[in-house]
Amino acid sequence: MNHTATEMMTIAAARALCNNDVCFVGIGLPSAACNLARATHAPGLTLIYESGTIEAKPAVLPLSIGDGELCETALTTVSVPEMFRYWLQGGRITLGFLGGAQVDRYGNLNSTVIGDYRKPKVRLPGAGGATEIAICCGRIFITMSHNPRAMVKKLDFLTTLGHGPTGQERKKLGIATAGPVLLVTDLGTMQPDPETNEFVVTALHPGVTRDAVRENTGWRVRFADAIGETAPPSAGELEALRELNARTARAHGGTAA
């Protein structure tokens, strides 16, 4: 079966999720990957959305972080202060799943501005939950569309701490959680070098060349010694993802005026 680059990216991210993870889920690709994982190899994956919904089991992907679907299918729903204080800061969440407008080689993220903060070229939405998700979750996955505007040498603004501007800041600041351990793009997957914490390419998606990765990365990207090829999507994975997307389109289109 043919597949798109976005499908490959979603499926690659879904495969990295474990059945026993407790995952703080962002809207968009992270939510698609988490619910695909739940529909395929990780039915026990626990999803927590920052609106306060714990063990949400949505049948369709929510458009917003607080769609009724999440609350209706959740085991329980708590207030937003409780979510951030007891559950996130309390250390109950094993995995945070983030995106952003820009990422650098150390997994630091910008979702605040493009250009100068006081006179931005583009005002982006801002931090949301990400700043504390990155500090408090056990480890972090990042997904990002692979292009030079997103994979940058220097962030316009540091909204969310990865491994810090030199790769060593988490340790210096005494932050005990692991930070970003996986970066999944539409070209491949990257993981931090164990010494420097610089993200290096560890696998290429089918048909993607090293040159394509170099051209689409804003820094001099490095490749791991042993570099793999991502297994192409299985028929089962593709069917599950497409069914999820079709159900979602029907549900959201159904409320049209």
Partner 1 sequence: MASFLSLHTAISNLVHDGDTVALEGFTHLIPFAAGHEIIRQGRRDLTLIRMTPDLIYDQMIGSGCARKLVFSWGGNPGVGSLYRLRDAVERDWPNPLEIEEHSHAAMANAYAAGAEGMPSAFFRGYRGTGLPGVNANIRFVACPFTGEPLACVPAHRPDVAIIHAQRADRQGNVLLEGIVGVQKEAVLAARRSLVTVEEVVDDLDARSPNAIVLPSWTATAIALVPGGAHPSYAHGYYSRDNAFYVAWDEIARERESFAGWMRQHVLEQGPEVFGERAGLRR
3-state secondary structure at position 192: strand
3-state secondary structure at position 159: coil
Which of 4, 19, 79, 166 is the binder for partner 1 (CB under 8 A)?
79
x/- letters, 36..75, toward partner 1 (CB under 8 A): --------------xxxx--------xxxxxxx-xx----
For residue 115, give the amino acid letter. Answer: G
Sites for partner 1 among residues 142-181 (CB under 8 A): 157-161, 164, 169-170, 173-175
**237 catalytically annotated:** no
Instruction: By CB under 8 A, tell whether 244 contacts partner 1.
Output: no
- Write the CB contacts of 223 (distance below 8 Å, at least 6 apart in sequence): 200, 201, 210, 213
Q: Are 32 and 25 in contact, with CB atoms under 8 Å apart?
A: no
Instruction: By CB under 8 A, tell whether 27 contacts partner 1.
Output: yes
Q: Are 82 and 130 in contact, with CB atoms under 8 Å apart?
A: no
Nearer to partner 1, 174 or 194 (CB): 174
Which of 35, 40, 112, 230 is the binder for partner 1 (CB under 8 A)?
112
x/- letters, 121..140, toward partner 1 (CB under 8 A): xxxxxxxxxxxx--xx----
Nearer to partner 1, 122 or 226 (CB): 122
Least Å distance, CB 36 to partner 1, is 17
Q: State how far the Cα of 172 lies from the Cα of 161, in Å rounded to an integer.
A: 13
Q: State how far the Cα of 42 lies from the Cα of 38, in Å rounded to an integer.
A: 5
Phi, psi of 151, deg, nearest 5: -100, 90
Which range touches partner 1 (CB under 8 A), out of 93-101, 113-121, 145-153, 217-225? 113-121
Distances 69 to 49, 163, 168, 248 between C-alpha atoms, Å: 12, 35, 40, 11
N-terminal to C-terminal alpha carbon distance within the chain: 36
Cβ atoms within 10 Å of 43's Cβ, excluding its own: 10
Nearer to partner 1, 51 or 216 (CB): 51
Nearer to partner 1, 44 or 68 (CB): 68
Known catalytic residues are 50
Binding site for partner 1 (CB under 8 A): 27-28, 50-53, 62-68, 70-71, 77, 79-81, 83-85, 88-89, 112, 117, 120-132, 135-136, 157-161, 164, 169-170, 173-175, 252-253, 255-257
